[in-house]
Structure 1
Amino acid sequence: MLQYNDTVAALIGSRICHDLISPIGAVANGIELMALSGVDQSPEMDLVAASAANANARICLFRLAFGMASAGQRTGAGEIRTILKNVFSDSRITVDWQPDGDFDRAMAQAALLALLCAESAVGLGGEITVSRSDNNWKIYATGPRLKTSPDLWAGLTNPTTLHNIAPGDVQFIMLPDHLARLDRFCRYTLTDTSVSLEF
């Protein structure tokens, strides 16, 4: 009998993203076609277009971060930068993805899960930088008012301490488990104005 585990969760994430991305893309295309056909732009149309674009970008990000990564699958820096630009274009958070080239999909997934952990700390505004040196990854976030839960972050090094996780914090459960399957572990540092994760 199939057991419910992280693989099933990843498959569910992939399925949801796959099924939602087409209709949301259709909404964006419909707005574009209306504009090309001469329909006057309006604040309402602009709002729908912007919302559809952001939803599409978020789903692309979630598909990479939470979806299934096949063995040998690769992901390019250009694709990731485009997704992150679209997700955070109208946000108080700026993201600088520095690594170039293409990456093993599972490793890129780990970096994006770490980025989502960092995003939770700078929700009120800040900067997130993703860097890589000799295949060692670092995600660094800084902001004037960080929002961190020491217990939540402690789960990155000891997942058994995590209890009653909110849906928006699921990346804190997934990251250490994902890294363990890559024979890696997470190190993190919290200060009053910054957070960093390395693996």
Structure 2
Amino acid sequence: MTTSPVSQTTDTLALLGLLGSRICHDLISPLGAIGNGIELLAMSGASTGPETALIEDSVRNANARIRFFRIAFGAAQPGQFLSRRDVLSVIDDISKGARVTFDWTVEGDVPRCEARLAFLIMQCFETVMPFGGTVRIINHPGGWSVIGASDRFREEPHLWALAEHKSEDLSDLKAADLHFALAPLVAQELERRLEVTRKPDEISVRF
């Protein structure tokens, strides 16, 4: 019996999701322990200098990024939902001191699989907005829209072609750009397709 391409894609995404969840799970505990240790040092007065502040900031940023990755790359089972409060908590944490800020306008709980795709697209915008800007996430009756506004975007036509499934050439894909190739696979699993509209000061991705 042969396996259909759709089934193979689903199985691959499931394995990648479990891998992402496992890595995030294994990293979050030691980071939490480091944070607790710094708090104990501060409470005892043993260390309150700039070195401690630097470690605190680094741990806080790493925790925020891992929580973001857990949604974007972790397992997303059918029927699972994410609360608006949890999503906003993650977004608020990664936006602190960042050049790119996110405006999550979606009300209420959302299916985790759809939030996963939205987060992957948000990462795409981080890649093409190195000089900063604002990304707005909208959920409307016809689907989702993720809209990035910036005075200057990086020109990455090949990466956007991957996102829209107009190209399957992964020969030059870098690890830092993995989300551009993963997003269309997640969209396919949801029976959606990414539609990218690019303007000089705005890029919109619908699914």
Task: State the TM bucket, normalised to the shorter chain.
Answer: over 0.9
Helix, strand or coil for the counterpart of 2:168? helix
Q: Which residue of 1 aligns with 2:161?
A: 154
Q: Which residue of 2 aligns with 1:26?
A: 33
Structural mapping, 1:174-189, within 5 Å = 174-189=182-197
Q: Distance in 2 between matches of 1:140 and 1:11?
A: 29
Query: How many residues align structurally?
Result: 197
Which stretch shifts more, 97-106 or 33-42?
A: 33-42
Residue 188 of structure 1 and its aligned partner are, at CA, apart by 0.7
Helix, strand or coil for the counterpart of 1:5? helix
| 8 Å Cα contact 1:152/1:162 also seen in 2 | no
Which stretch shifts more, 136-145 or 5-14?
A: 5-14
Helix, strand or coil for the counterpart of 1:189? strand
| Partner deviation per Cα, 1:60-114 (whole Å, 9 max, x = no partner) | 1001100111221111111111111111201111111111211111011011111
| Partner deviation per Cα, 1:153-196 (whole Å, 9 max, x = no partner) | 01122242443211111111111110111111110111222211
Unaligned runs of 5+ in 1: none
Q: Which residue of 1 aligns with 2:64?
A: 57
Q: Which residue of 2 aligns with 1:130?
A: 137
Q: Distance in 2 between matches of 1:135 and 1:68?
A: 25
One-letter amino acid of the structure 2 residue matched with residue 111 of structure 1: A
Residue 40 of structure 1 and its aligned partner are, at CA, apart by 4.5
Q: Which residue of 2 aligns with 1:102?
A: 109
Output the TM-score relative to the length of structure 2. Answer: 0.90
| 8 Å Cα contact 1:131/1:138 also seen in 2 | yes
Unaligned runs of 5+ in 2: 1-7
Residue 39 of structure 1 and its aligned partner are, at CA, apart by 3.2
RMSD value, Cα: 1.6
Q: Distance in 2 between matches of 1:196 and 1:123?
A: 17
Q: Distance in 2 between matches of 1:37 and 1:129?
A: 43
| Partner deviation per Cα, 1:96-144 (whole Å, 9 max, x = no partner) | 1111211111011011111111111112211111111126111111112
Q: Which residue of 2 aligns with 1:71?
A: 78
Which stretch shifts more, 151-160 or 80-89?
A: 151-160
| 8 Å Cα contact 1:10/1:66 also seen in 2 | yes
Residue 147 of structure 1 and its aligned partner are, at CA, apart by 0.9
Q: 1:14 aligns with which of 4, 18, 21?
A: 21
Q: 1:80 aligns with which of 68, 87, 109?
A: 87
| 8 Å Cα contact 1:186/1:198 also seen in 2 | yes
Residue 25 of structure 1 and its aligned partner are, at CA, apart by 1.2
Q: Distance in 1 between matches of 2:66 and 2:36?
A: 16
- Whether 1:191 and 2:188 are equivalent positions in the alignment is no
- Whether 1:111 and 2:109 are equivalent positions in the alignment is no
Report sequence identity in percent. Answer: 36
Query: Structure 1 segments of 4 or more deviating over 6 A?
Result: none
| 8 Å Cα contact 1:118/1:139 also seen in 2 | no
Which stretch shifts more, 58-67 or 32-41?
A: 32-41
Helix, strand or coil for the counterpart of 2:163? coil
